[in-house]
Amino acid sequence: MKIYGFATYNVTKVLLTAEELGLQYEYIPLNPLEGEQKTEEHLRRHPLGQVPVLEHEGECYIESAAICRYLARISGSRLYQGDARQKAKIDRWVDFSTLHMGRWLATYFFQEIVNSKFFGNEIDQQALAEAGEYLQQQFPVLDAVLAGNEFMAGGGISIADLIGFSYVQIHEVTSVDISAYEHLSRWYSQIRERPSFSAAMSHFPNHQILH
């Protein structure tokens, strides 16, 4: 099993999932500044030249949430378990993290890290203002859920928590502030202290997503 990637939140999702499941894998870092994700070799793995990519038993799998589900399923469905109703709860928070909260956190990541620090462009303050307004609506929703649950979908930790955490981690390298949200902050710190986090981040320079 091989995981191709570089230090971004989408790759963190997959690494956290693999570590939580105790899977044996080889991490193969690609250098985006040298365009290694756009080589012909990598384009055969991912037609858009993106990461992460999971290579397993001769097949390549793309899209980070789909990879997390796949890893959980081949490991006896731990992290993605339960009946249809419970899996719907997990999927709900995966989608919430990816399509809503994650979208706006990714805006901060792109503007303040990729666009500004790596490309030297001026930050689009209007884009950040819009993202901030949406996060002020979405963070309280998740905070309220976590007030009554240790993890997003209730029960034990699931791929929803690992995917959501990977987006919220963006606050560590941007101006996003989660300190006003008690339960969200507790949940975040709790996952950050798990052995899977340090193991996953050990693959990245300075043990951090791009900054």
Tell me the pLDDT tens digit for each residue of 66-110: 999 999 999 998 899 999 999 999 999 999 999 999 999 999 999
Residue 11 tokens, joined: 């790759």
Domain ranges of the chain: 2-78+197-206, 84-194
The pLDDT value recorded for residue 201 is 96
Q: Which CATH number fits domain 2-78+197-206: 3.40.50.300, 3.40.50.1820, 3.40.30.10, 3.90.226.10?
A: 3.40.30.10
pLDDT at 43 over 70: yes
Total-model pTM: 0.95
Query: Looking at domain 84-194, which CATH architecture does it have?
Result: Up-down Bundle (1.20)
Please give the angle made by the CA atoms of 91, 97 and 98, to the nearest 5 degrees: 85
Q: How far is CA 118 from CA 12, 109, 151, 161, in A?
A: 20, 11, 35, 29
Question: Are 111 and 119 spatial neighbours (Cβ–Cβ below 8 Å)?
Answer: no
Q: What is the mean pLDDT of the chain?
A: 95
Tell me the average pLDDT across 126-131. Answer: 97
Tell me the average pLDDT across 116-120. Answer: 79
